[in-house]
Amino acid sequence: MKQNILKAMENGELQAFYQPQYDAISGKIVSAEALVRWIKPDGSMISPDKFIPDAETKGYITEIDWYMTKQVCQMLNFQKQNHEKQFPVAINFSRHHIQEANFTEKLCAIADKYAISHELLEVEITESAMVNEESKILDWLESVRTAGFTIAIDDFGSGLSSLQFVKDMPADVLKIDKSLLSHNCENEKERVVLESIFYFANRLHMTTIAEGVETKEQLQFLRTCDCKKIQGYLFAKPMSKINYLAICRNSQSAETTEDILEMQTPANAFNLLMRVIFQRYPLVIFSNLTRNSYYMMAYEDFTATACPSTGIFEELIIHGASSMHPDDQEIFAQTFNRINLLKAYADGKSKIRLVTRQLGDDGKYRPVETTDYFIKNSSSDDILVITLCENLPNH
C-alpha cells in the first residue's frame, strides 16, 4: 500500500479537493477545507477512507499531509498571481505531526516558498489526536499560532469530548462533528447539547463551524445556535481545484439570504437584543445581592476587563471603586455597597444611578454612568440586580 501511494504522489495522482465553507447567515463562501483524493489514471477515484487509515497506522500519513500542504499553497499562489480572490484553506494534519521535529518551521518554509500569507492556512487537527499528548500539545499549538497560522480542532464531539479540555487549548476554530447533528436536528436533547457547545465556544471567542450539514432544517437550527460557518453537502461537496477556483471567482451566496427576522427563536432575538444593548452599554453585570455573587458580560472598550467575569459581588465593588478617580471612590463604594443596595430595594427604589470618573486603558479618566436595576427573582426570594455601564462623552 505504502509504495503504491508514494508512487501515486510522484505521479500526481493524489489531488487536493476543496470543500467550501460558508458564512451561516449570509451564505457567502468564507474559507475551504482541503481533502485528499486519489484519482487513478483510468479516472476512477479512491476516497481517503480507503488509504488514510493505513497511512495513519504506518506513519507515512505525514508525507501525504505535506504533499497536500504544497498543493494548497500552489493553488493559493495561482490565485495570488492572477489577482483572484483568496480564502483561507484548512489542511488536515495527522496526530503524527505533533511528534515531528520543526513542524512549524516546515510549514513556514512551504508557505513562504509560495509567498502565501500565514493567515490563509488553517491547521486542522482532531480532538482525539490532541487528547493523549498533554505534555507536547500546548507548545506545539502555541508555536503554530505564533507563526500566524490558524488552528482548528476537528471532529469535536465525535469521541469522548470535553469542554474542559478545549478550554485549555489555544485554538481559534471549533469544528463540530457531523455525528452531533441528528437528521433534522429534531431531537430535543441533542439540540440542548449543541446549543450549549456553541454558546460555550462563542463565549471563548472561538469561531464555530458545523460540518456535514445536509438539510435546510439543520442549517436553520445551527443559525439559531449562533454557529458561524457551515460546511456540508447542502451547500457544496468537495470539488476539484478547477471547480473550486471558479467558485472563488464568482463568490456570491450559495443561496438567497433569508430574512433574519424569519428565524424567530428566543436565542436569536436575545443575541440581536444584546448587540443593541452593547452599543450603548459596553458592560452589563448580573448580580445576586442576596447571595453576594455576580456574572459580568463585558464588551470591548471597557476597562473592567481585568476583573474576573464571575465572583463575589462585594469584591466586584471594591475592584470597581479602585478604578475610579480618588475623589469618587467613596461615593461609588457607598452607593453600590451590597447592604445599602438591599436597603434601597426595601425602600421601594427600582433603580440606582451614579456618574463617576473611571480610569480608562489609555490612562485617562472618563465619566461613566452606572445604573443598577433591581429585579425580584420569580423562582426564589433572591434580589437580583442588572447593572448597565455607559461611557459618557468627555467634556
User: Which residues are near ligand C2E by CB under 6 A?
Assistant: 19, 35-36, 47-49, 52, 61, 64-65, 68, 92, 94, 154-155, 178, 211-214, 231-233, 238
68 binds, among Ca ion, ligand C2E, none (CB under 5 to 8 A by kind): ligand C2E
Identify residues 99-138 at the interface with Ca ion (CB under 5 A): 124
Cell of 201: 465556544
CA distance 89 to 80: 14
Q: Give every CB contact of residue 149 below 8 A, 6+ residues apart in sequence.
A: 104, 107, 111, 118, 119, 121, 122, 123
To ligand C2E, the closest distance from the beta carbon of 377 in angstroms equals 44
Give the interface size with Ca ion as a residue count (CB under 5 A): 4
Task: Considering the complex, state which of residue 92 and residue 104 has its C-beta at the smaller distance from Ca ion.
Answer: 92
> Which region, judged by CB under 5 A, interacts with Ca ion, from 19-27, 85-93, 225-233, 253-261?
85-93
**DSSP states along 260-306:** GGGS--HHHHHHHHHHHHHHH-SEEEEEETTTTEEEEEE-SS-GGGG
* 3-class secondary structure, 362: coil
Residue 46 CB, nearest approach to ligand C2E (Å): 10
Alpha helices in 147-237 (DSSP H): 163-168, 188-203, 216-224
Nearest-approach distance from CB 76 to ligand C2E, in angstroms: 16
| Shortest CB 178 distance to Ca ion, Å | 7
Residue 236 identity (one-letter amino acid): A
The smaller minimum CB distance to ligand C2E, of residues 123 and 321, is found at 123
Nearer to ligand C2E, 88 or 282 (CB): 88
Query: CB 108 → ligand C2E: shortest distance, Å?
Result: 19
Helix spans in the chain (H): 2-10, 48-58, 61-81, 103-113, 127-131, 134-146, 163-168, 188-203, 216-224, 241-249, 266-280, 313-322, 329-335, 338-346
CA-based max dimension of the chain: 85
Among 65, 122, 127, 154, binds Ca ion (CB under 5 A): 154
Q: CB of residue 214 vs ligand C2E: minimum separation in angstroms? A: 4
Residue 372's binding partner, choosing from Ca ion, ligand C2E, none, with beta-carbon cut-off 5 to 8 A by kind? none
Query: What contacts 248, CB < 8 A, 6 or more positions away?
Result: 29, 79, 84, 85, 86, 87
- Return the ∠ at Cα 335 (arms to 332 and 337), rounded to 5°: 95
Burial zone of 250 (CB within 10 Å; 0-12 exposed, 13-18 middle, 19+ buried): exposed
Look-up: residue for cell 463617576?
Answer: 356
Residue 375 Cβ vs ligand C2E, minimum distance, rounded to whole Å: 44
Binding string to Ca ion for residues 347 to 386, with x set by CB under 5 A, is what? ----------------------------------------
> Minimum distance from CB of 92 to ligand C2E (Å)?
4
Partner interacting with residue 391 (select from Ca ion, ligand C2E, none; CB below 5-8 Å by kind): none
Q: Which is nearer to ligand C2E, 19 or 79 (CB)?
A: 19
Q: Which is nearer to ligand C2E, 34 or 389 (CB)?
A: 34
Residue 65 site contact among Ca ion, ligand C2E, none (CB < 5 to 8 Å, cut-off depends on kind): ligand C2E
Provide the grid cell at 313. 459581588
Residues of this chain that interact with Ca ion (CB under 5 A) are 92, 124, 154-155
